[in-house]
Structure 1
C-alpha cells in the first residue's frame, strides 16, 4: 500500500506522525502544523485514494493500513496521532508496536465506530452513486450548525475529490474495526480529545478510550463537532502543544543531562512527585530549552550563572556536566564562574569552583 506524505519541521526534531479523517487529506492538520513543526518533524499522510495517495482496488484492514503508516516512520520511537479514521490508525499502531510509540493523540475517534451495518451501506451507496451525495450529510456531522463557510468548504471540496472505491474500502475497514479489548495494551502517554457536540464519535467513545488506556487524559472541546481541530483550532493546538511538550522535553532533557541521570530521575518518581516531573519535563525542557533564540551552549552559561547566584550547588554539578555535553570547554566554564565572582559574590563563586573542579576531575 503506497501512501503519499509530507514532512515539515527541523531535520533533527523528534518525529510526530499525524493521520487525517476519512474523506480528508494532509490539509486537515494545517491549523496545527505551523506550531507543531517548530520543534517536531511532522509527517502527515494521505489515506488510500485521498489527496496524493494512489487509489486501491483491494480490501484492507485497519491493521494493514497501520503497518503501511508504521513503515513511513524512520525512527525507533515517535509520537503518533490522528482524527477519526486517522486516530484509529494511530491507536492500532500503538497497540501492535507499543515499543515504538512514545506519545499518542486521539482526536474525535473511537476504538469501535458503531455497528458495521451503516458502514457497509455507505460503502455500497458510494460505489453506486459516487461521492456527491455525501457532501452535505458528512459535513453536517463534521461541524456544528452555523460554522464559518471558510472552514467547511475546503474539506467539503476535498471529500468530493476522493476516489469512491478507496473510500468504500475504507468504510469496510472501519466496519470491521474493534480495538476495545486491546486498549490496556497501549503503553504510550495518551491524550484523548473529544468534541462535546460530535455526532460521529460522541463523548462516550472518548470516555471508553480514556478509561481503557492506562493513564490516558481526556480533554473535551466545547461547541465542537467531529473536526474539532479545524473548528476550534487554537484550543486543540494548545492541548496538543502542552501534551507533546513532554515527549519533546524528555528528548531534550536526555540530550542535555544524559540518559543515566534522566533514567534515575524517572525511576525515583512517585505518585507525589509525578506531576512535578511532568511539569519540568514539559515546560523547562520542552518549551524553554527548545526555543530558537539561544543555542544550548549559551543556555548552559545562563543556567550556570543562575545556579551560582542562588547557591544551588547540587544542581550546579548536574549542569556542569550538561555544559560539557552542550559543548562548553573547561576554560569556558571557568570564565563563566569568574564572571559570577564579580556579580554573584566571591563566596558563591568559591563554592561553585569547588563543585565544578570535582566534576571536571571526574570527566578527566
Structure 2
C-alpha cells in the first residue's frame, strides 16, 4: 500500500514471483476485476500487478484533488525499481502513458487499450464531475454501460462491471473526472521509447478509433490493432481477441526476462523495435528463450558452451559475437572461452575455429576496454 500525493492505491499481484512485472490499470468506474478475462493467460509467464483507482474497489476514497501524473507516481512506487511492462484501459491507459512519457527508461512494453492522449473537451468532464457530485453515480449506469459495450451484450458480462461503477465513491469519481479534464499528452507522445501496442474497439464511442490512430502515429514504432464489434471495454466484450493480441505482443514473460539477462537490455531493445522482424522476435522470445533457455536441466554456463560450439560449426560469426558477450554474462571466463574454441578446432574444423578465435579476440578486447558489450 502506497500513500502520498493525496491518493492511496490498493493493489494485488498474481503470477510467478520470478517472472517480469506487468502493471495493468482499470478504466474509470471499474476495478482490478476488469482484467479478469486476461489474467489466467498473462500470469503464466508474467507477475501481474493490478491496482484500484481512488475510491474504486479496495482503494480508499479521497477528497483531495489529484492529477493523472499523481496516479502515475503512485503506480511507479508500487512497481518499485527496475524496468517493467505497463498497460491500461481508458484512464488506466492514460496512467500507463504518463509513466512511459515521463520515465521512458523504466518501461519495456506499453499496452494502450481503448484510451487516448486527450479525452475530448475538458468542459464535458467538468460537467460530469459536477453532476456526479450533485446526484451520485446512479444516473451514469445506463449511459456508461451503453458506451462500454455494443448493443445486445449478455447481462452476465455487463452487470458485474456496472456494479463496480455503482460501488464507486462519488467524490473520488468526480475528482477523477477533473483529472481527465486536465490530461493532454498529445505533444509528448514522441517521448515514448517502449514497444507499444495500441488496441481500439471499432465501435467505441468514448475513445474512437481516430484517437487510437493518433497514438499509433505519434508514438515511435507503435502498432495498432482494431478489434471488431467492440466498444469501450474491448478486453471484456472481446476477451479472447484482446488476450491473444496482448500475449503475442508481450511474448513469453520468462523468455523475455532471460533474453534480457543473457543478451543485455540494449541489444534486446534494438532487436524488438524493428517492425519487419516483430513476429520473428516474438517467436524466438517464446520458444528459444521461453522454452529452451528456461529449462532446468542445464545451467546457463553450459547452454552458452553448447551455443558457442553450434555457432562455430555453422560459421555464424555475427551471432557468435553476440553469444560470446552472453557467455561472459553467464559466467564463462576468457580462458574457458578459449578452451571451448580450441575444442571446436577438433570437431568443427580448424578454419571454423580460426575465424571464431578472431571474433573472440575482438569481443574480449572490447569487453576488457569497457566498450559496448551489447552489439
Q: TM-score range by the shorter chain?
A: 0.7 to 0.9
Assess if the C-alpha contact under 8 Å between 1:320 and 1:356 holds in 2: no
Please state how far the C-alpha of 1:301 moved relative to its aligned partner.
7.5
Q: Which residue of 1 aligns with 2:4?
A: none
Q: 1:36 to 1:350 in 2, by over 3 A?
A: farther
- Structure 1 residue 87 displacement after superposition: 0.7
Instruction: Indicate whether 1:224 and 2:225 are aligned.
Output: no
In structure 2, the residue matched to 1:98 is 104
**Residues 207, 278 of structure 1: alpha-carbon distance in 2 compared, 3 angstrom cutoff:** closer
Are the aligned partners of 2:252 and 2:286 in contact in 1 as well (CA < 8 Å)?
Answer: yes
Is the CA contact (8 Å cut-off) linking 1:253 and 1:281 kept in structure 2?
A: no
For the residue of structure 2 that corresponds to 1:114, the secondary structure is coil
Deviation at 1:356, TM superposition (A): 8.4
Alignment of 1:193 onto 2:199: yes
**C-alpha separation between the residues in 2 aligned to 1:212 and 1:126?**
34
Greater shift after overlay, 201-210 or 322-331?
322-331
Counterpart residue number, 1:62: 68
Q: Which moved more, 1:188-197 or 1:60-69?
A: 60-69
Instruction: Please name the residue that 2:291 is paired with.
Output: 291
The yes-or-no answer on 1:164 pairing with 2:170 is yes
> Could you say which residue in structure 1 is the equivalent of 2:44?
38
CA offsets per residue over residues 170-229 of structure 1, 9 Å max, x none?
A: 111112222222222222222111000001111111112112222222110111100011
Alignment check: 8 A CA contact 1:103 1:247 kept:
no
Kindly tell me the number of residue pairs found equivalent between the two proteins: 352
CA distance in 2, matches of 1:165, 1:246: 40
Shift of 1:12: 2.7
CA distance in 2, matches of 1:57, 1:250: 41
Structure-1-length-normalised TM-score? 0.81
Q: Distance in 2 between matches of 1:320 and 1:212?
A: 37
Change in Cα spacing, 1:275 to 1:65, as seen in structure 2 (3 Å) is: closer
Change beyond 3 A, Cα 1:349–1:139: farther
Partner secondary structure for residue 99 of structure 1: helix
Q: The residue matched to 1:42 in structure 2 has which SS? A: strand
Structure 1 unaligned residues grouped into runs of 5+: none
1:109 equivalent in structure 2: 115
* Structure 1 residue matching 2:109: 3-state secondary structure: strand
Please tell me whether the aligned partners of residues 78 and 100 of structure 1 are also in contact (alpha carbons under 8 angstroms).
Answer: yes
The TM-score, its normalising length taken from structure 2, stands at 0.79
Which string of whole-angstrom CA distances, capped at 9 and with x for unpartnered residues, describes residues 275-308 of structure 1?
4654454321245412387236486587568657
**Where does residue 233 of structure 1 map in the other structure?**
239
Q: Secondary structure at the match of 2:290?
A: coil
The answer to whether residue 91 in structure 2 is matched with residue 85 in structure 1 is yes
Contact 1:190 1:216 in 2 (8 A): yes
Q: Are residue 18 (structure 1) and residue 24 (structure 2) matched?
A: yes
Match of 2:209 among 196, 203, 222: 203
- Equivalences for 1:1-364 in 2 at 5 Å? 1-245=7-251, 251-258=257-264, 262=267, 266=270, 274-275=274-275, 278-291=278-291, 294-295=295-296, 297=300, 312=316, 315=319, 319=323, 322=326, 325-326=329-330, 347-348=347-348
1:65-119 Cα deviation digits (max 9, x unpaired): 2222222121232221110011111111222222322221111011111112222
CA-atom RMSD in angstroms: 3.6
